[in-house]
């Protein structure tokens, strides 16, 4: 990586292509850090009147003076263009200088341009957390550009397959500086590549870039088994009697999610107005997901109603006008480790595990159809629910037992006939 740029200008004549009048075209060659580009000046001069050492026309006649004055103007313009690009902190290449000089690239779009456009146009469309993920993605990309190319930005027209492979490699070896000690896992790397791809697709649709650098890139997601609590583990948490209010609140928030499938970000925003009387005459929760704005509606189980009633009039819920006291997601997950220890649960207990538990242990394993579970979780695609909700061996055994009994009964009926 170079710390300084070496820029130079050379004028030359293409003598090998002299015409019948013994005249050949003049060119200027710009060089930057070993890269070169030639620009035709659209002017010709007799090859005997060109001084290759001085890079100027020979003689003091009017024709030679005009050519030499023109060459000085070209030199001044090119150096001025280089200095402007450098002072702006822009990514500089000989092709960009050439393009700008010829007026072919009146507006060169960069990564920062598409990032800013994406964030501005999606500010009201995307959830704040989703937009935060994109900003983190953009931060990683620009950090990569600084480390790999020594620039603060990168032109869209220079993106290619090699850039993507290098960025992927950079992410796999990236060491987060603050909250996390581990490197970025494969699926998280692929998620960053997918977010990058969506933003470049936007640039293509805006006609800011002609070629799709992702056309040959194939993401490779690894199938992961998502953790959830079985019935015995869930029962241990239900029966836990915490020694302090802090853990009692954490336990209750977790159990409410286990029996509703509502995520942390949505639970802490629930208010009394989100409780409605459903078509069955019972109390339901009706709200929109913070993540994507999708509506979710679900009837409340007895344990969920008990937890809501428990915090009616609680000082923290009265202050914020919410159904439950608020705890930061980071502290919540930290306190859940204490809950797991008290219950003797060896799994890495996180709040999102409650959502998996609702989909598997509480609903699917008790015969609730996956379509119903999907609607309650607020998913738009059934495939998304299938990631969360797996069919347990117990459920498979029960279903096959029903089938076995049904076939036996049909066989008995056939024999009787």
Which single residue is written with the structure tokens 């799994």? 347
| Residue 84: band (very low, low, confident or very high) from pLDDT cuts 50, 70, 90 | confident
pLDDT for 197-223, tens place per residue?
A: 999 999 999 988 878 999 888 888 777
Q: Which ranges constitute the DSSP H helices of 174-298?
A: 186-205, 231-239, 245-258, 264-267
- Summarised one tens digit per residue, pLDDT across range 114-130 is 999 999 999 888 877 78
Of the ranges 101-115, 171-185, 226-240, which one carries the lowest mean pLDDT score? Answer: 171-185
For 243-285, what is each residue's pLDDT tens digit? 899 999 999 999 999 999 898 889 988 999 999 998 999 999 9
- pLDDT over 80 (residue 175): no
pLDDT at position 395 is: 64
**CA-CA distances (angstroms) from residue 155 to 107, 160, 213?**
11, 11, 13
- Give percent above pLDDT 70 in the chain: 90
The pLDDT, as a whole number, for residue 339 is 94
Lowest mean pLDDT segment, chosen from 67-81, 171-185, 338-352, 395-409: 171-185
93 or 338, higher pLDDT:
338
Per-residue pLDDT tens over the stretch 45-70: 999 999 999 999 999 899 999 999 99
pLDDT of residue 412: 61
At a CB cut-off of 8 Å and minimum separation 6, what does 186 contact? Answer: 172, 220, 221, 222
What b-and-e string marks burial along 271-288, b requiring 16 or more CB atoms within 10 Å of the CB? Answer: eeebbeeeeeeeeebebe
What's residue 190's pLDDT?
92
Q: What pTM value is reported for the model?
A: 0.57
Residue corresponding to tokens 């500010």: 123
Confidence check: pLDDT of 2 > 50 = no
* Dist. CA 274–CA 181, nearest whole Å: 39
């Amino acid at each position: 990586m170079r710390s300084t740029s070496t820029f130079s200008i050379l004028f030359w004549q293409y003598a090998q292509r002299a015409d019948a009048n013994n005249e050949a075209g003049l060119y200027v060659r710009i060089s930057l850090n070993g890269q070169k580009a030639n620009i035709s000046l659209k002017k010709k001069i007799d090859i005997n009147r060109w001084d290759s050492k001085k890079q100027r026309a020979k003689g003091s006649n009017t024709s030679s003076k005009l050519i030499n004055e023109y060459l000085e103007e070209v030199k001044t313009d090119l150096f001025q263009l280089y200095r402007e690009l450098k002072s702006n902190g822009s990514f500089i290449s000989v092709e960009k200088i050439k393009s700008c000089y010829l007026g072919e690239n009146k507006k060169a779009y960069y990564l920062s341009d598409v990032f800013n456009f994406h964030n501005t146009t999606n500010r009201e469309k995307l959830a704040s957390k989703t937009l935060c993920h994109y900003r983190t993605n953009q931060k990683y990309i620009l950090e990569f550009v600084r480390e790999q190319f020594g620039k603060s930005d990168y032109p869209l027209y220079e993106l290619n397959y090699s850039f993507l492979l290098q960025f992927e490699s950079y992410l796999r070896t990236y060491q987060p500086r603050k909250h996390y000690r581990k490197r970025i896992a494969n699926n998280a790397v692929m998620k960053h590549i997918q977010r990058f791809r969506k933003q470049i697709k936007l640039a293509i649709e805006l006609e800011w870039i002609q070629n799709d650098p992702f056309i040959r890139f194939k993401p490779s997601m690894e199938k992961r088994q998502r953790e959830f609590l079985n019935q015995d583990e869930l029962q241990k948490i239900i029966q836990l009697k915490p020694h302090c209010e802090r853990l009692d609140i954490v336990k209750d928030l977790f159990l409410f999610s286990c029996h509703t499938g509502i995520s942390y970000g949505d639970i802490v925003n629930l208010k009394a107005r989100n409780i409605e009387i459903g078509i069955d005459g019972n109390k339901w929760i009706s709200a929109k997901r913070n993540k994507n704005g999708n509506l979710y509606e679900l009837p409340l189980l007895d344990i969920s109603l008990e937890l809501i009633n428990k915090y009616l009039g609680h000082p923290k819920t009265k202050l914020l006008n919410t159904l439950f006291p608020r705890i930061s997601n980071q502290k919540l997950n930290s306190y859940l480790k204490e809950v797991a220890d008290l219950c003797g649960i060896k799994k890495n207990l996180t709040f999102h595990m409650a959502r998996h538990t609702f989909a598997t242990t509480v609903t699917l394993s008790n015969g609730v159809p996956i379509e119903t579970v999907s609607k309650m979780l607020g998913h738009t695609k059934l495939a998304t629910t299938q990631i969360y909700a797996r069919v347990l061996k117990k459920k498979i055994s029960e279903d096959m037992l029903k089938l076995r009994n049904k076939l036996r009964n049909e066989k008995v009926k056939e024999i009787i006939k």
